[in-house]
Amino acid sequence: MTVVTRFAPSPTWYVHIWSLRTVLYNYLFAKKHSGKFMLRIEDTDRTRYVEWSVENMLGVLANMWLIPDEWPNNPWDLWPYFQSERLDIYKKYIEQLVQEDKAYYCFCSSERLDELRKEQTELGLPTKYDKKCRYLSLEEIKEKLASGVPYTVRLKVPENKEVVFDDVIKWKVKVMSKDVDEQVLLKSDWFPTYHLANVVDDHLMWVTHVIRWDEWTPSTPKHILLYEAFWWKPPVFAHIPLLLGTDKKKLSKRTWDVAVEAYIEKWYLSEAIINYIALLGWNPKTTEEFFSMNELIERFELEQVHKAWAVFDVERLNFFNSYYLKNSSTDYLYDKLCNYLAKYSPEFLEKIKTFSDDYNKKVLWELKTKIKKFDEFEENTRFLYWEANIPAKDLLLNEKMKVESIGIAKIALELALDVVSSNSDFSNIDEVRDIFIEKIKNAWLKNWQVLWPVRCALSWEQYSPWALELIYILGNQKSSERLEKILKEI
């Protein structure tokens, strides 16, 4: 048996963080078992359909390197992957259920159903359909159909039946049929509901494992009853817990901070997002935290997913992103940085492209150990790409660094100017460090007495990379110009 998993979202908004985790678990499980991962679009709720949502979804999956084996408009086009293009298929199965007395026409108006729910709510009862149309006579049904009365089709739930299914994460789940609502299967607009289309498509597309949010657990008995009505073998179910925010409240579906696109715009590395999301609710049974995609595929087990809800913490994501920034090659990051800036900050990209790639990579080499994500790159490098005003003289002073007077700062700046003006550009940071440490030692000064004012003179900022790193990045000519400029001022 070939393992087939699927992600079947409704195209109603951006891809959520917890949707990405659902995709990831489906992808990891399929690849672990040399199976197939499919993307199917469940667009039968036309009132909530958002046209750009599908394109955004495909873009996010491509950005995260979660490429489906089958997806809408793929080159193989095995079948329609939009449910709105499969209506004839659903109609066939609806007719079968009605003919076999496993579903029935419901002629109740929306006003009656609203009033029914209101009454049940006021009485503290579960909001369920009262089965009024289940017991209509054949003559009544024919009369209403002939009169053109709008109708839906509902599932006929067997009475006094125990519905049982195994869940990989929740183990065995049991529900009595009296607690299962007689769900609408076909709406009055002739579009199927999720419940019917989901079951029919999973069966016809040979889906073997349904890995989805915990919110769908209450609906699963309805799906089991549909599988039984069609005499089909149900897939294996695994309902993964939802995500909470750090306030221990359920993450909202409609706020930008849960959209994967928001984290792409802030330029979190895809490998950092994937690594962190994978560990939200899954325990790999090791103290290790950092895994490549191949390592995740090798280690992933559905049985190791927790039942309890997991907490999505941006600070933890920042921790993972910092790790991947520090441990990725500068060349790799530079290509990704340019792609990021081309999309989200083209003016800044145009500015840095007036400098050599070698210079820009030196800047990135230094900054990648200091920033958590790349939307911090521009604000932390402005002094490396633009000239700035001379800082206040007090910035050069620092009692902790033993720079207690402008006289000491001037000595430090002159020493640095002598070094950079009498040498060609340094080939690496170690060369800069060796020469400066020796010069400082011979001048009977402390390292920080020199390096603090030099750092401030080169960056004109209170916070910046350290002096030797700045000299290496700026080069000796630019460093000399800045040192000379501030020496004239003091």
pLDDT of residue 457: 83
Q: To 10 degrees, what angle do helices 467-489 and 406-421 make?
A: 120
At 154, the pLDDT band (50, 70, 90 cuts) reads very high
Please check the confidence at residue 256 and state whether its pLDDT lies above 60: no
Tell me the catalytic residues.
Answer: 253
- What is the dihedral angle through the alpha carbons of 467, 473, 476, 481, rounded to the nearest 10 degrees? -70
- What is the dihedral angle through the alpha carbons of 43, 49, 51, 53, rounded to the nearest 10 degrees? -80
Please give the single-letter amino acid code of residue 298: E
**Residues 205-221: what's their mean pLDDT?**
93
**Residues 74-78: what's their mean pLDDT?**
69
Please give the single-letter amino acid code of residue 482: R
Distance CA 159, CA 182 (A): 11
Strands 310-311 and 243-244: parallel
Distance CA 348, CA 289 (A): 34
Question: Which of the two residues, 12 and 18, has the higher pLDDT score?
Answer: 18
pLDDT of residue 388: 64
Name residue 70's beta-bridge partners.
38
Q: Are 32 and 53 in contact (CB under 8 A)?
A: no
Task: Tell me the pTM.
Answer: 0.88
CA angle 443, 446, 451 (to 5 degrees): 95
Please check the confidence at residue 267 and state whether its pLDDT lies above 70: yes
Please check the confidence at residue 222 and state whether its pLDDT lies above 80: yes
**Cα–chain-centroid distance for residue 203?**
29
**Polymer length of the chain:** 490
At 14, the pLDDT band (50, 70, 90 cuts) reads confident
The token pair at 224 is 């089991």
Query: What is residue 166's three-state secondary structure?
Result: strand
pLDDT of residue 404: 73
406-425 pLDDT, tens per residue?
Answer: 888 888 888 889 888 888 87
Residue 470, classified by CB atoms within 10 Å of its CB into exposed (0-12), middle (13-18) or buried (19+), is buried
Distance CA 415, CA 436 (A): 9
346-397 pLDDT, tens per residue?
Answer: 999 999 999 999 999 999 998 898 889 888 888 888 888 887 667 667 777 7
- What is the dihedral angle through the alpha carbons of 146, 149, 153, 156, rounded to the nearest 10 degrees? -80
pLDDT of residue 75: 65
pLDDT of residue 55: 87
453-473 pLDDT, tens per residue?
Answer: 888 888 877 777 888 898 898
**Residues 194-206: what's their mean pLDDT?**
95
Question: What is 243-309 written as a DSSP string?
Answer: EE-TTSSBPPSSSGGGBHHHHHHTT--HHHHHHHHHTSSB--SSS-----HHHHHHH--GGGB-SSP
20-49 pLDDT, tens per residue?
Answer: 999 999 999 999 999 999 999 988 877 777
Where is average pLDDT lowest: 159-173, 272-286, 438-452?
A: 438-452
Distance CA 197, CA 296 (A): 32
**Residues 147-169: what's their mean pLDDT?**
93
51-63 pLDDT, tens per residue?
Answer: 788 888 888 999 9
Query: What is residue 79's three-state secondary structure?
Result: coil
Give the count of beta carbons closer than 10 Å to the beta carbon of residue 356: 10
Report which DSSP code applies to 419: H
pLDDT of residue 429: 87
* Alpha helices for 368-405 (secondary structure H): 382-385
